[in-house]
Structure 1
Amino acid sequence: MPVVRRRSIAWIALIATLTLFYFWNASTRSPPPSYTDANSRAAQGGADFWKLIPVHYPPQSIRPLPTKAPVKYPNVQTSFGKEPAEARAIREHRQRAVKLVFTKCWTSYREYAWKSDELAPVSGGKKNPFGGWAATLVDALDTLWIMDMKPEFDEAVQAAATIDFSKTDLDQVNVFETNIRYLGGFISAFDLSGDERLLHKAVEVGEMLYKAFDTPNRMPITRWAIHAAVSGKRQTAPPSLLIAEIGSLTMEFTRLSIITEDAKWFDAVQRIMDAMADQQDSTALPGLWPLVVSAKDQIFNIGNMFTLGAMADSAYEYLPKMSALMGGQLPIYQKMYEKAATAAIKHALYRPMTPQNEDILVSGAVKSENGEVTLDAQGQHLVCFLGGLLTVGGRLFNRAQDISAATKLVDGCIWTYKALPHGIMPETFHMVPCHSLDGCEWDEKAWKKEVLRLAKDKQATSVDDIIKRDRLPPGFASIPDRRYILRPEAIESVFILYRATGRADLLDSAWTMFESINRTTSTKLANSAVWDVTAPQDQQPERANSMESFWLGETLKYFYLIFSETDVISLDEYVFNTEAHPFKRLVP
């Protein structure tokens, strides 16, 4: 769906609170003829509204888009041979099953929550956590196109064209979420369909988000007081914010600049990335950036907490993907990725102790202080994206070590799904790390010792009672957040690794995951997040009456694509943003 331990204790406390809240609630196409500098008013209405708002701190100059010829990268996808008839029949059956679930959800959204952000999948109500700008509708546009639901797509485009991004009941707009869901959704649907109405909406959202950069140092406000900006008030970038929120604007802004031939969006985000690149080697864990950084002071290297998981994830995800998107025209992204991937593999990945000593990896969190690096052996469903990221980077830049790590990370996510009673991974968990990536024998005493250490009431009962009460499968030391919120990250990486390697077993793993998720989350109307995937297998976990837009925009899209023909949204032609919106790559 996405954070330089600053100067003030209050800010640290605020970020800690936000962290807890997060876990509880986380081409070569030429511009169309009608979109040229001479006719820029083709993006009517909404875009003009944002252009008319006074600019207090205009950029002194605008960096032009690169003009070098795109680099010829190695293929991300492997070569697939002729598919046997029996395998094709199985795959197409599975693909139809995924589409049926999507159609059910879309039909209910259309009936009960049309043009609202989300459907309440149990009660049939509606929710507006993302501005009330029809997040589910926009997020699902490219899914409708990919699934060949053209009548539904056309109706959705007509509805999307009427969204007024100048009006919202929210006091603050989350720039990151608006960027990846709305701007990303419009750009992707335009890249796929060529419908200029979608380009006009992309420009409108782009103009809106560009106002969040109207600060003295042209750094963005990621939690943006939109009404104050509309009224003409001056703005200052915040002193503390999440690294993911400021480091994950590049793909959407850059693609918009490429399509429109207006470099201002590219210029805006490249300023951020230049600052991050300049400070990447001077952090407490060189190669990685701390969780919290300062936009106000442009400090990206102070802080001692590091993760590739929640609140940091997509800042790393966009590094190799920007290389793919731009055809390698900016070598800085490959350099940043290689530094980050090397540091992450060395410090953040661990092999968990499991009963059968499976050769798998999990990505944890790291604290680096006074030269000492300490691993927190946590796991997150969200960080399952990392297997896909390392697969893309490993293929693009010929890094065999990244492919090896990616394979074990994906296998780790699949294993974690299977280890839980309903066949679904929880939001967060802790395990016992082996001392070596070569593995370790199962040690029940060591496992129980860690269970007791992490238990809040360790002195109130026996460790066996804690394991039974908390329903901890062997190997899991704690499960702080037992929800499944319809997340896509596991199937995302399974899909990418399958396309890159052709491993047939990944198709079966994906199908098992899909059946488990649908069985556990299905409601009369759609699918709902559930509160506790550790519930006994014969009990239905309580439903949370929540269906975030990424269920249709990401999760079901990846399930559909893994069972599609392998040339549908080829990874050698498209690159996905963090909301699973495919953008056309620049290729030679």
Structure 2
Amino acid sequence: MNLGPPKHPYSLARSSFDWSSVAYRYPPAAQLLSPPKPGLWQRKLPGIQHRFKPESPKDRQLREARRKAVRNLTLKCWNSYRKYAWKRDALLPISGDGRDQFSGWAATLVDSLDTLWIMGLRDEFDEAVAAVAEIDFGSSTSPQVNIFETTIRYLGGLLAAYDLSGREVLLQKAVELGDLIYGGFNTPNRMPVDNIDFEVAKNGSGLVVEDTVVSASPGSLTLELAHLSQVTGDPKYYDAIAPVTELFWRWQKRTALPGMFPMWVSMAREDVTTGSSFTLGGCADSLYEYFPKMHALLAGAEPKYAQLTRGFMEAAKRHPFFRPMVPSNDDILVSGNVNVDEELEPHLDPELEHLTCFIGGTFALAGRLLGSKEDVEVGARLARGCVYAYRSFPTGMMPERLNMVPCQDTEHCIWDEQVWDREKVKRPEYKPHLPKGFTTAKDPRYILRPEAIESVFYLWRITGHPEWQDAAWDMFQAVANGTATELAAAAVKDVTVVKPKLPQEDYMESFWIAETLKYFYLVFSPPSLISLDQYVLNTEAHPFLRPDMRR
């Protein structure tokens, strides 16, 4: 989508500190590793998207009406952010105030750039870019900067908006921020810290790597830093993350659940094997999401990512995935947690987090990239599991965390109310009003999360089956109605009960516009808009143009 030059020039305000000027105590090796490029001998990656046929006028009219509804809600939320929380990290959607939850660098503004561009909101985009050009990455509202959030939201947002619009000022700000993040690798073993001490990072004396961090933190820096090297030609960013990938790749088969990694790892000790708790949900999610996406971004030129992808997928099918027993006998899958005992026996905890709902889309994407129709279908069953959860609750929204009853016989899984009765009484969190099949809604909130619609988007684009557009519209109507405030959209405290006015929380994070609404919009857009054959979307739904697709 090329909407031409900006209506007014952008004036770049350099940050108050030049992060590229730091003399590091622990510099990289003299010979830097560049992002690999596919050789002439290498086969091209297979196509990802379904080959869509021309739609009928009736279907197009319906789709466009739905797309317009998503765009209108996005514009309502954006205008309220602009009016009440401009240049703050997030809008408080009930009280009409703003808050800084990260570093005070206008997270919602940066995170939403590509959404504005994709939706054709040109005036809003130009105004936002002018504001981004003034962000000072040399100062922060917090003495420590979280490297994970800074990378996925801020750097990811800048790079995607640059790829889409070509606005040079966005790349300049991305380089400023990339150099800050690069400082997070100034450690004795060149492994990244979880939180960058701002003042220590500035003097270059060296940072202390935390003993334990969630595995998603170091594992989710690869896509953005690799892409920054791709668009700038400077290999240092890719060189920084390559040893992190090497560490996970080298030890993948040596964990207590071979193929998967424990929820907590140690970059200080370079230990990604010690631990007995495993999940694809919070604390680990985007670690796994980035394995196939890096395979796509590098056009298959680094085989480690395909191997990491296959390894975790096989382990996931054997352990955390389970078929839940439901009254409709639907053939669905959900992903739980696994705890490994001292005898190395895995034990399933059948808890589903909303965060885990990304895995259906990731499985389907990986199945396409690696030529596995079986894994595309596994992804579809996982996505249907989360759609089932949405449709089961009376508000049409899925709780943040819940439990279901695993089928003992996955091939012949027939509803047995007596089994459900026995299981639910074992759960102190059980409430009598929960739908049949659910034994808890441990966290009954819906906090505007995108993971379920993310998987629906991927399955729509990969299979072309209309069930996914129908599911997306059901979800959108439920979410739009249940979260609506006068100003924008707010988290719902309990989606398991219906009341004339659902109790809400004065909470709306940047991912609501950056991810949730963007995915809804793309489901109802022509498939050529952000084609999965051209773009790789990071964990914050920021589309990076694949280098092999650049003209």
Does 2:504 correspond to 1:540? no
Note if contact 1:72-1:587 (Cα within 8 Å) is conserved in structure 2: no
- Equivalent in the alignment of 1:157: 129
- Equivalent in the alignment of 2:298: 326
Question: Displacement of 1:68 after TM fit?
Answer: 3.4
Equivalent of residue 208 in structure 1, options 180, 199, 220: 180
Note if contact 1:95-1:563 (Cα within 8 Å) is conserved in structure 2: yes
- Equivalent in the alignment of 1:531: 493
Note if contact 1:362-1:379 (Cα within 8 Å) is conserved in structure 2: yes
- Equivalent in the alignment of 1:106: 78
Note if contact 1:430-1:477 (Cα within 8 Å) is conserved in structure 2: yes
Does 2:251 correspond to 1:282? no
Question: Displacement of 1:229 after TM fit?
Answer: 2.3
Aligned residue identity for 1:49: D
Structure 2 CA distance, aligned partners of 1:255 and 1:358? 40
Question: Displacement of 1:139 after TM fit?
Answer: 0.4
Note if contact 2:16-2:139 (Cα within 8 Å) is conserved in structure 1: no
- Equivalent in the alignment of 2:5: none
Question: Displacement of 1:448 after TM fit?
Answer: 2.3
Alpha carbons of structure 1 residues 166 and 67: separation in structure 2 relative to 1, 3 Å: same
- Equivalent in the alignment of 1:496: 458
Note if contact 1:116-1:135 (Cα within 8 Å) is conserved in structure 2: yes
Equivalent of residue 65 in structure 1, options 20, 35, 40: 35
- Equivalent in the alignment of 2:113: 141
Does 2:439 correspond to 1:467? no
- Equivalent in the alignment of 1:585: 546
Structure 1 CA distance, aligned partners of 2:140 and 2:197? 11
- Equivalent in the alignment of 1:50: 19
Correspondence list, 1:418-567, <5 A:
418-455=391-428, 467-468=431-432, 471-535=433-497, 537-567=498-528
- Equivalent in the alignment of 1:258: 230
Structure 2 CA distance, aligned partners of 1:474 and 1:350? 17
Gaps of 5+ in 1: 1-41, 457-465
Report which structure shows greater RCO (CA 8 Å, sep ≥6). Answer: 1
Question: Displacement of 1:236 after TM fit?
Answer: 1.8
Q: Secondary structure in 2 aligned to 1:453?
A: coil
- Equivalent in the alignment of 1:414: 387
Q: Deviations over 1:150-189 (max 9, x none)?
A: 1110110000010111111213211101100000000000
Note if contact 2:38-2:300 (Cα within 8 Å) is conserved in structure 1: no
Equivalent of residue 161 in structure 2, options 181, 184, 189: 189
Moved more, 164-173 or 315-324: 164-173
Q: Secondary structure in 2 aligned to 1:587?
A: helix
Structure 1 CA distance, aligned partners of 2:546 and 2:480? 33
Equivalent of residue 363 in structure 2, options 378, 382, 390: 390
Q: Secondary structure in 1 aligned to 2:249?
A: helix
Structure 2 CA distance, aligned partners of 1:437 and 1:317? 26
Structure 1 CA distance, aligned partners of 2:43 and 2:237? 23
Moved more, 397-406 or 121-130: 397-406
Aligned residue identity for 1:557: K
Question: Displacement of 1:44 after TM fit?
Answer: 7.4
Q: Deviations over 1:384-416 (max 9, x none)?
A: 100100111000111122112111111111110
Gaps of 5+ in 2: 1-10
Q: Secondary structure in 1 aligned to 2:504?
A: coil
Note if contact 1:43-1:203 (Cα within 8 Å) is conserved in structure 2: no
Structure 1 CA distance, aligned partners of 2:15 and 2:412? 57
- Equivalent in the alignment of 1:380: 353
- Equivalent in the alignment of 1:228: 200
Q: Secondary structure in 1 aligned to 2:474?
A: helix
Note if contact 2:14-2:134 (Cα within 8 Å) is conserved in structure 1: no
Q: Secondary structure in 2 aligned to 1:480?
A: strand
Question: Displacement of 1:439 after TM fit?
Answer: 4.0
Structure 1 CA distance, aligned partners of 2:271 and 2:198? 25
Q: Deviations over 1:123-170 (max 9, x none)?
A: 000010011100000000000000011111011000001011111121
Aligned residue pairs: how many? Answer: 535
Does 2:330 correspond to 1:358? yes
Note if contact 2:105-2:137 (Cα within 8 Å) is conserved in structure 1: yes
Q: Deviations over 1:339-373 (max 9, x none)?
A: 11111011110011111211100000011232311
- Equivalent in the alignment of 2:138: 166
Correspondence list, 1:68-83, <5 A:
68-69=38-39, 71-83=43-55
Note if contact 1:426-1:483 (Cα within 8 Å) is conserved in structure 2: yes
- Equivalent in the alignment of 1:121: 93
Q: Secondary structure in 2 aligned to 1:430?
A: strand
- Equivalent in the alignment of 2:4: none
Note if contact 1:451-1:478 (Cα within 8 Å) is conserved in structure 2: yes
Note if contact 2:534-2:545 (Cα within 8 Å) is conserved in structure 1: yes
Q: Deviations over 1:417-451 (max 9, x none)?
A: 00011000010001110013224222222212222
Percent pairwise identity? 46
Aligned residue identity for 1:149: L
Alpha carbons of structure 1 residues 174 and 78: separation in structure 2 relative to 1, 3 Å: same
Structure 2 CA distance, aligned partners of 1:367 and 1:554? 31
Question: Displacement of 1:454 after TM fit?
Answer: 1.7
Equivalent of residue 576 in structure 1, options 516, 537, 541: 537
Does 2:263 correspond to 1:291? yes
Q: Deviations over 1:453-494 (max 9, x none)?
A: 1216xxxxxxxxx532xx311111111111111001111110
- Equivalent in the alignment of 2:216: 244
Q: Secondary structure in 2 aligned to 1:454?
A: coil
Equivalent of residue 368 in structure 1, options 328, 337, 340: 340
Structure 2 CA distance, aligned partners of 1:492 and 1:289? 23
Structure 2 CA distance, aligned partners of 1:453 and 1:236? 44
Note if contact 2:447-2:508 (Cα within 8 Å) is conserved in structure 1: yes
Q: Secondary structure in 2 aligned to 1:467?
A: coil
Note if contact 2:325-2:413 (Cα within 8 Å) is conserved in structure 1: yes
Note if contact 1:414-1:509 (Cα within 8 Å) is conserved in structure 2: yes
Alpha carbons of structure 1 residues 44 and 260: separation in structure 2 relative to 1, 3 Å: farther
Query: What TM-score does the superposition give when structure 1 sets the normalisation length?
Result: 0.89
- Equivalent in the alignment of 1:21: none
Query: What TM-score does the superposition give when structure 2 sets the normalisation length?
Result: 0.95
Question: Displacement of 1:566 after TM fit?
Answer: 0.8
- Equivalent in the alignment of 1:461: none
Question: Displacement of 1:231 after TM fit?
Answer: 4.7
Aligned residue identity for 1:168: S
Structure 1 CA distance, aligned partners of 2:327 and 2:538? 36
Q: Deviations over 1:214-268 (max 9, x none)?
A: 0000001112222332355531211100100010000000000010100000011
Question: Displacement of 1:43 after TM fit?
Answer: 8.8
Note if contact 1:324-1:586 (Cα within 8 Å) is conserved in structure 2: no
Q: Deviations over 1:531-553 (max 9, x none)?
A: 11112x23322111111000000
* Aligned CA-pair RMSD: 1.5
Q: Secondary structure in 1 aligned to 2:548?
A: coil
Question: Displacement of 1:67 after TM fit?
Answer: 3.7
Structure 2 CA distance, aligned partners of 1:316 and 1:442? 32
Note if contact 2:396-2:475 (Cα within 8 Å) is conserved in structure 1: yes
Structure 1 CA distance, aligned partners of 2:500 and 2:219? 41
